[in-house]
A and B are shown apart, each in its own frame.
Chain A
Amino acid sequence: MSKAHVSPAQDRPSPADARAETRVVVANQWQLIWWKFRKHRLAMFAGAVTIFLYVVAVFAEFFAPYSSGTYSAAHTFIPPQSIKLIQQTDAGPRFYPHINGFKVQVDQESYKRTYVIDESIIYPVGLFVRGEEYELWGVFTTDLHLIGAAQFGDPVYLLGTDRLGRDVLSRTIYGTRVSMSVGLVGVGLSLLLGVILGGISGYYGGMIDNLIQRTIEILRSLPTIPLWMGLSAAIPLTWPPVRVYFAITVLLSLIGWTTLAREVRGRFLSLKTEDFVIAARLDGVREMQIIIRHMAPSMTSHIIASVTLAIPGMILAETALSFLGIGLRPPVVSWGVLLQEAQNVRSIATAPWLLFPGVAVVTAVLAMNFLGDGLRDAADPYQA
């Protein structure tokens, strides 16, 4: 393990190695964790995806071509339109990103409307286009959108529309905000409960520990879906969407904290008998200082890893609840709410693009699971 020697080593290999060595010997735990995490390619990629999703959530108005409520009765169930980058003109091909317009054909027997692409109609598409005005975080007012119709008003729906003619892409992007933040807020609450109760349980032990542990076991033995159903049925229908949103996150964290509490308790128990904690006590360090200086830093990296692994569970739970119609309700837009609209066979058969929010759920959950795995592996850089 040694990278340093008491003996005056006559032959240091090369200046570069020597530099690397000095870097390692004075590296604190976060640097070591980062170096170890960096080697985990998949986790690095998953981390980038996760960051991207949160950026999208924060700047949803900018990323989405339309607002979540914009509808157009004339454009219901439009299938996804593919972007063409090259336009054939008389002067030869030129770079001109656009989508083709479409004609509506009505089947005379079934009265079923189908859209047929009409190559003669061209709607130019651009990046950083002017569109609907919005207020970003209630501070700036702007009409800049990342992507959209180059001319305001053209019917450009990259991922199609739903039964009210609302843009699926825009709604999925707005859903990112709600779904990803439900995970974050829910885990934040679980973390608070988990660290406090787990810490008490692990530190004091005895009766309190017994009580908390048995409570955790009872909570964990309850079937979650019926429990959530019962609890969310108790949320008054008259509550405004924001309050329902917070009520749901509280519900989710009510179960979520148990895992974290166990993790924290286990760490506390094993750390309490670690030699270096005993050494600190013999050094005359006060109990509070022992917890802050010696025990907590040994736990934080593990806690971050388990928090990352807990968020996907929350996202899935929110999606499941909303899908069942007992979670968030329209007009709030979350992935679960969006999927609820794709619930019946007819819409899946005629408009499979309504399932796109499901792709977003899978991406988010996989990314955060891989990220959490990588963090967990790197969380203890002192183990060989």
Chain B
Amino acid sequence: METDASLTADGARPLLEVRNLHMQFPIKRGLLRRTVGFVHAVNDVSFSIRPGETLSLVGESGCGKTTTGRCIVRVYSPSSGQILYQQDERESVDLAQFDNRELRPFRREIRMIFQDPFSSLNPRLPILQIVGEPLRANRIASGSELEDRVATLLRRVGLRPEYIRRYPHAFSGGERQRIGIARALALNPRLIVADEAVSALDVSVQAQILNLLQDLQEEFKLTYLFIAHDLSVVEHISHRVAVMYVGKIVELASADELFANPLHPYTEALLSAVPKPDPRLRNKGVRIRLEGEVTDPSNPPSGCYFHPRCPYAQDRCQHEEPPVREIGADHWVACHFADELELRGFEAIGAGTDD
């Protein structure tokens, strides 16, 4: 288990270790559907998830966070790279190499919660069938035992077990998301990939679901890979945060550290863009407004992908791609000038300036 570019640090053996993950989608054109190029959605991503923690992947749309999550649950087959999963005390396996049949045992342990509570539940099946699907498919329970287990799961996520025969159309967005969570819990998972699990929900419902996720994490010792774009939610739920930009991780640190002391200019810009829910903070502190648009991942610029928009960019940034390096304890960043720049955290930009 030697580590080089991977972003592991302390002695704890990671539950999941992603190494140099690449995912390229071909762009096909013409009558014969020839491949004319690639969208490099995930570009050399490495990180590890420790048992029991919540690691968040944040970034703007198109940054590759969802694709990374889908590679880990193997909806996609990665173009290259390793996804090392800690099977038991001693052995770890590379999920990236497995085919569908070999993946079956691991699909019980690594589960996914989807963003859209409407499209992720088959509208034509009752809740019993939806939540019971993993139990049935893995021949764990059937008949009345299946019903009992589904009822228990529903109760655990805060739904009434009498709802078992209802169809998804009878539920609101928040309730549907609870059903999705119950389905993810059905097989006693260890790792849950939550892909924008609360993004489609109203604030009051979002709070309910976030609380539920935290309760479940404590109760079942779950590990979360939390994919989100809302930084206040991420700040609230995460232990560690990885920031992605155009398929690459640009910064990874503990949540407290990242929000207080960002080292990458993109992180700083993201933090400053978050609207603070306090009118008294308006027009206080600094705001960094990024110029231009997110780079097209099928045609990225040379050097550092962020340099066309970076307020601190210098010549070097145009030519040389910055490696991911560790600055400070367990704080990884991909920026040539990470040691020199004096970047401001969330506190300096927003909270704490009102007196």
Contact = CB atoms under 8 A, between A and B. Distances in A.
Nearest to A382: B123
Interface stretch (A25-33, A145-153, A355-363): A25-33
Nearest to B180: A279
Given A6-B159, A25-B166, A282 B111 contact: yes
Given A4-B175, A6-B159, A283 B32 contact: no
Given A4-B163, A283-B137, A275 B171 contact: no
Among B104, B167, B173, residue most surrounded by chain A Cβ atoms (within 10 Å):
B167
Contacts of B138: 284
A25 B133 CA distance: 20
B337 interface: no
A329 interface: no
A1 B172 CA distance: 6
Interface string B110-138: 01101010011111111000000110011
Interface in A242-283: 274-276, 278-283
Nearest to A210: B33
Contacts of B125: 293-294
A6 B167 contact: no
Contacts of B108: 284
A27 B168 CA distance: 10
A336 B33 CA distance: 44
Interface residues on A, range: 20 to 34
B172 A2 contact: yes
A6 B166 CA distance: 13
A281 B124 contact: no
Contacts of A5: 172
B336 interface: no
B121 to A, nearest CB: 6
Interface string B1-44: 00000000000000000000000000000001100000000000
A279 B193 CA distance: 12
A278 B137 contact: no
A25 B114 CA distance: 23
Interface string A1-17: 11111100000000000
B269 to A, nearest CB: 31
A279 B114 contact: yes
B61 to A, nearest CB: 17
Nearest to B112: A282
B316 interface: no
A2 B171 contact: yes
Contacts of B111: 282
Given A276-B119, A276-B122, A284-B108, A28 B167 contact: yes
Contact of B114 (A6, A275, A286, A294): A275
A104 interface: no
A331 B183 CA distance: 63
Interface in B312-337: none
Contact of A26 (B33, B73, B159, B165): B165
Interface in B40-54: none
A241 interface: no
A297 B134 CA distance: 19
Contacts of B73: 282
A210 B159 CA distance: 47
Contact of B167 (A25, A281, A282, A283): A25
Contacts of B107: 282-284
Contacts of A286: 137
Contacts of A4: 163, 166, 170-172, 175
Nearest to A286: B137
B123 A281 contact: no
Contacts of B116: 275
B158 A6 contact: yes
Nearest to B116: A275
Nearest to A30: B124
A25 B123 contact: no
Nearest to A27: B167
Which bucket holds chain B's interface residue count? Answer: 35 or more
A348 interface: no
B280 interface: no
Contacts of B114: 275, 278-279
A67 B82 CA distance: 78
A210 B33 CA distance: 9
Contact of A1 (B166, B169, B183): B169
Interface in A200-236: 210
**In this complex, which of A274, A279, A281, A285 has the most chain B Cβ atoms within 10 angstroms of its Cβ?**
A279
B166 A283 contact: no
Of the listed residues B73, B111, B137, the one surrounded by the most CB atoms of chain A closer than 10 A to its CB is: B137
A275 B183 CA distance: 13
B120 A275 contact: yes
Nearest to B105: A284
Nearest to A31: B167
Contacts of A142: none
A278 B75 contact: yes
A82 interface: no
B289 interface: no
A274 B118 CA distance: 11
Interface in B152-204: 158-160, 163, 165-167, 169-173, 175, 180, 183
30 contacts: A1-B173, A4-B170, A4-B175, A6-B158, A6-B175, A25-B167, A25-B170, A26-B126, A28-B124, A28-B167, A29-B123, A32-B169, A275-B116, A276-B119, A276-B121, A279-B133, A279-B180, A279-B183, A280-B122, A280-B137, A281-B75, A284-B107, A284-B108, A284-B134, A284-B137, A285-B133, A286-B137, A294-B122, A298-B124, A382-B123
Interface of B: 32-33, 73, 75, 104, 107-108, 111-112, 114, 116, 119-126, 133-134, 137-138, 158-160, 163, 165-167, 169-173, 175, 180, 183
Given A2-B171, A2-B172, 11 more contacts: A1-B171, A1-B172, A4-B171, A5-B172, A25-B169, A26-B170, A279-B114, A284-B104, A284-B107, A284-B134, A298-B122
10 tightest A-B contacts by CB? A2-B172, A25-B170, A275-B120, A283-B134, A276-B122, A25-B166, A285-B137, A382-B123, A284-B137, A275-B119
